[in-house]
Structures are given as C-alpha cells and as structure tokens.
Structure 1
Amino acid sequence: MKLGIIGGSGLYSMPALASGRQRAQETPWGWPSDTLVEGEIEGLPVVFMPRHGRGHRIAPAEINYRANIAALRIAGCNVIVSVAACGSFRDELPPGTLVIPDQLVDRTQGRDKSFFGEGIVAHVSLADPIATDLAARVEAAAGAAGIPHHRDGTYLAIEGPHFATRAESRLAKAQGFDIVGMTGMPEAALAREAEMAYAIAAFVTDFDAWKPEAVSTTSVMEVLAANAANAQALVAALCRALRDEPLPRPSAQGWERALDTAFATPRVEWPLEPAARLRAIAPRLFA
C-alpha cells in the first residue's frame, strides 16, 4: 500500500518527508500542482503533493485535478487522503475541528471532471464517493492523536475563489450541508475513476457567512497555522495504522475495481490514443 497525501491550504510540506525524494511527474493531462515528495512516514510509503503549489500559487478553479490524481497514480499510490480546509455550517463543528465527511455535493463549474471521453465513455458509481474503510482509519488516527473530530456529514464543493454570500451560506445550512470547501470535487470522482481509495480530512477554519462575523482569508490562515501541527500528527498516526493493517479488499465501495462495470463503449471500439493515455490511471485495463 502506498499513501498519497494531498495538502490543502496551509499544508505545503511534510516535515516527516524532509529527506524524501523530489519527483517531477508529467502526466497525459499535463503537470500536477507541484513536484511530488516521496519517502516513508512511520514505515509506510508516502507521496506528498501540495494541491495549491508551494507558496499557494494556484486557485481552486485553476488546479489541474486530473494531472494531480494521475501523478499520484503513476507514482504508485492506491490510497489518497486529502487534507483540506473547510467552513462549517454547524455550531457543533467549530474552528479547529477535524471533519471526515462521507458524502459530497458538487456545485463547481467548468472543471475537467473525468478522465474519460474522446471516444471512450465510462460512468463510475459515486453513490458513496468516500472509501469508508479509509475514513474509519482517519477517524481512528484523529482519536489516537487527540484531535477533536467528527465522522460523517456532507461536504459542499463550491467553485470559489470568493467565499459565499450570506444568502448562499444560509441556504446551504438550511439544506442540511455540514461543511463547505472548494476542492473536494472533482478530486473524489477522479480518484474513483483511477480506482483509488479516497477520503477527506477537513479542518474547520470558520463558520462561512451564516453567522454575523464574516469569513476572511486572514482569519482562515490564522486558524490554518494552528491546525498545521494537528495535520502532521494525524498523518503520522494514520501511517502507523495503515502500515500495521492495510485496507481490506474487496472494499465496501469496490474502489479497487470501480471500472469493471463502468464502460459504455465496448473495448473493441476504444480509440488507440485515448486508450494509451488511460494507461496512466488504469494500468490493469489499458496495459
């Protein structure tokens, strides 16, 4: 098992990988957000990538999500944990809380959301977009690290880069969403297409705009700095757990064979060039 860690806002490096190998990994969909860092944490092979690039240079809508997921897949990862920042729609989830959602709602626009097309059509199941076995390990790691946390809930993915209006925030709260972020989709969908386990470790930084105080980048970054140590501790505890007990297969969501029933286009009709690109994310089918 090889774990990919995608670092979100405030998490641009992993000190535990300070001596790791830098890897510039081009993909058929272009370059990922930054170089990958490969090494071991607590004896588990790990690859780290900062989603927004080091120095936070890439806005949510500008991220090449396909290249990020493909780069981790090419590097040998079959498990991804996204460490992210989020806003909260619930008083019980104050800043500093770690939320491990089990569902997502996608309200992003204009992003490249699939590896498929151009002659090869596939529809993966996203009924349960989060790998529950992996989410359970993240929850256990949070407990072991003493991090306040909450399991389950719905992550609302918005386009950004602006924060929500008060009306948008209050509507999302009334609809029953738990947290809001700008990067959970299409990341989760692409990970499923690449037959990888995916879970989100979302650290709450604010209450969005449904409360009187308005969220600001300054306030978010202040909370992110305080959350950084917890993020590092969470990853270390998770790596220990996965080292000692890898994820079971077959999985509850069947992520490791998600493409088996996804293709609408018969294999004999697959064009050569798109099929060659897809080897990067599904080598067992396109080798």
Structure 2
Amino acid sequence: MGDTRKIKIGIIGGSGFDDPDLFKDPVEKCVSTPFGNPSDILLEGFIKGVPCVILARHGRKHQFQPSDINYRANIWALKTVGCTHILATTATGSLQENYAPGTLVIVDDFIDRTWGRACTFYDRTPGGPKGVCHLPMSPAFCEVTRGALCEAARARGYPCETSGTVVTIQGPRFSSKAESLMHRQWGGHLVNMTTVPEVTLAKEAGLSYAALALVTDYDCWRENEKSVCVSDVLEAFGKNVKKAADVILDAIQILAARSDHSYLDTCQELVSSSIMLKE
C-alpha cells in the first residue's frame, strides 16, 4: 500500500495567488503563536483538492520590511494549522549573467548576510520547544519538494535554473556595488532579503521547504547599467509573477500525487536528533 498520510501545503509570498477563484471554500484564520503574531491572517482552502494555506510574508499591505517580519511566528503558525510543506516565492536580483531577469530559480543553498533576526525556536521562549537545536543545514532545502518545483517548471517550458545560491542581505536597502561584486566572488547567484531565517526556521520546525525565486534585475554589479530600483523590480515581477504562480500550483499537484511521503519523517527525525537537552 502507498503512503496515505495527508499533506497540507503552505504558500509564503502571496503575490500572484490573490485570485478569488483559486481556492475552494477559503477560510480566513487568525493564529497566535508563542513567538507573536504572523505577518497576516492565514487563508485556508483547497487548490484542486489539495489543502493549502497562503500567508503574505510582508503582510497583505506590504507593511513589514524584511528585517521586521516575524519569521518565527509565520513558520510556527503554518505548522500549527497542520502544514507539512512550505512553498515560498521570492523576488531576487541576479549576480550572474546567465541568471537573466524573468528566469525562475529553484534555490538550493544560501549565504546569510543578515543580523539581529530571531533565527531559532529553541531560545527558551515560554510555550516554545525546549533545549538547543544544532541543526545541519546541508542540504538547506528539501530535495523532494525542490524536485517537484523543477518538474513543474520543466513541464511548463519556462526559463528556469534548477539550482542557485541566494545571498540574503539585511535590507531594506539594496547592495552597494562593492557588496554586489563581493557576493559574486563568494559564489552567489542571487540576492534577496527574506530567505534567511525563513528556510532555517522551516527546517527547524520539521517542514519540507523549498523556494522558487523570480529574477527581477541584475542588482548593481554590471558595468554601464543603472542600479536596481523599486520601480524596475515591481515591473519585472508583475510581468513574470504568473509563471511563478503556475509552477507553484503545478508543484502542489505533483507533491500530492506522490505515493511515498517518508521524506517528511526524515525532516522530523533530523530535528529530533539535533536537539541537546539536559533535564
């Protein structure tokens, strides 16, 4: 017999998923967590028969800058309502010539250039988990869920890179040219402001997490090209966001059709084996 466990997929990002006909019987749910409130209400429903939950990372009015997002509350809230997976979308700048604007990238690694962000659930917060979690971060993203995104993008024939290292900067400002060149020298392919600590917290929560990046610009490392600006990012994102939404929706069906979900046990077991706790 196949694996009959129920999966539930959280979608973080929100842009491109605001079609009122997308969800069957959508329900708004307010969730509080030991770590505070998430960025917005959760929207629960079914996408082609698969239970899903959408959360706007920055809030539906984009009221939270990257360093002010309550990443812990966002991940904890999705886990609280029963999510087993998270599919995240993110707008990114490109650090490499061949990662052109309009390209989709299924991210497989990260470099953390943030500071001051709460990056673990295991910090003695009342109501939170106990102990200290020394979690391995290689691989950083769930390979099974990444594979579903790759399969979906290939089937659509969309320009797509199936791997890429994203450098997550603090924001809200964009990089200086010297920083952009440094990130290239480090081996970064993309730059954004939100993947960390979202990815690390999802893994610490035992969830299967993968991120689909949409390249909007070339940051500021190229010679004789103007630096990235908000208007250009929004224009590029608006032109290509449907591609990202299509891939996410198709990946949901691919994940739901799998007969083996034992990798979800592996996600949980990794967390359990990483906790140091002295009674």
TM normalised by structure 1 equals 0.88
List per-residue Cα deviations over 1:147-203 (Å, max 9, x = no partner): 211011211111000000011001111221100111100011111110001111000
User: Which residue is equivalent to 2:142?
Assistant: 131
Instruction: Tell me how far 1:258 sits from its aligned partner.
Output: 2.1
List per-residue Cα deviations over 1:190-230 (Å, max 9, x = no partner): 11110001111000000011022210000000011112211
User: Which residue is equivalent to 1:254?
Assistant: 266
Instruction: Tell me how far 1:32 sits from its aligned partner.
Output: 0.3
Pairing partner for 1:228 from 238, 241, 251: 241
User: Which residue is equivalent to 2:127?
Assistant: none
In the alignment, residue 143 of structure 1 is paired with which amino acid? Answer: R
Query: Are the aligned partners of 1:169 and 1:210 in contact in 2 as well (CA < 8 Å)?
Result: yes
SS at match of 1:48: strand
In the alignment, residue 52 of structure 2 is paired with which amino acid? Answer: V
Change in CA separation of 1:41 and 1:164 when aligned onto 2, cut-off 3 Å: same
For the pair 1:116 / 2:122, whether they are aligned, the reply is yes
Change in CA separation of 1:41 and 1:12 when aligned onto 2, cut-off 3 Å: closer
Query: Are the aligned partners of 1:100 and 1:135 in contact in 2 as well (CA < 8 Å)?
Result: yes
User: Which residue is equivalent to 1:198?
Assistant: 209
User: Which residue is equivalent to 1:182?
Assistant: 193
Change in CA separation of 1:247 and 1:181 when aligned onto 2, cut-off 3 Å: farther
Query: Are the aligned partners of 2:146 and 2:211 in contact in 1 as well (CA < 8 Å)?
Result: yes
Pairing partner for 2:253 from 237, 240, 243: 240
Query: Are the aligned partners of 1:130 and 1:188 in contact in 2 as well (CA < 8 Å)?
Result: yes
In the alignment, residue 65 of structure 1 is paired with which amino acid? Answer: Y
Pairing partner for 2:68 from 62, 65, 70: 62
User: Which residue is equivalent to 1:74?
Assistant: 80
For the pair 1:24 / 2:37, whether they are aligned, the reply is no
Task: Extract unaligned runs of 5+ from structure 2.
Answer: 1-6, 125-129
Query: Are the aligned partners of 1:2 and 1:76 in contact in 2 as well (CA < 8 Å)?
Result: yes
In the alignment, residue 136 of structure 1 is paired with which amino acid? Answer: G
Query: Are the aligned partners of 2:24 and 2:46 in contact in 1 as well (CA < 8 Å)?
Result: no
User: Which consecutive segments of 4 or more residues in structure 1 shift more than 4 A?
Assistant: none
Instruction: Tell me how far 1:14 sits from its aligned partner.
Output: 4.9
Deviates more, 1:233-242 or 1:134-143: 233-242
Query: Are the aligned partners of 1:21 and 1:37 in contact in 2 as well (CA < 8 Å)?
Result: yes
Query: Are the aligned partners of 1:108 and 1:158 in contact in 2 as well (CA < 8 Å)?
Result: yes
Query: Are the aligned partners of 1:133 and 1:247 in contact in 2 as well (CA < 8 Å)?
Result: no
Return the alpha-carbon distance in structure 2 between the equivalents of residues 188 and 143 of structure 1: 24
Query: Are the aligned partners of 1:78 and 1:196 in contact in 2 as well (CA < 8 Å)?
Result: yes
Return the alpha-carbon distance in structure 2 between the equivalents of residues 13 and 110 of structure 1: 32
Change in CA separation of 1:206 and 1:18 when aligned onto 2, cut-off 3 Å: farther
User: Which residue is equivalent to 1:263?
Assistant: 275
Change in CA separation of 1:71 and 1:246 when aligned onto 2, cut-off 3 Å: farther
SS at match of 1:20: strand
The root-mean-square deviation of aligned C-alpha atoms, in Å, is 1.7
Return the alpha-carbon distance in structure 1 between the equivalents of residues 82 and 260 of structure 2: 16
In the alignment, residue 106 of structure 1 is paired with which amino acid? Answer: D
Instruction: Tell me how far 1:256 sits from its aligned partner.
Output: 2.7
In the alignment, residue 130 of structure 1 is paired with which amino acid? Answer: F
Return the alpha-carbon distance in structure 1 between the equivalents of residues 272 and 212 of structure 2: 28
SS at match of 1:105: strand
Query: Are the aligned partners of 2:204 and 2:271 in contact in 1 as well (CA < 8 Å)?
Result: yes
SS at match of 1:259: helix
User: Which residue is equivalent to 1:53?
Assistant: 59
TM normalised by structure 2 equals 0.90
Return the alpha-carbon distance in structure 2 between the equivalents of residues 246 and 200 of structure 1: 22
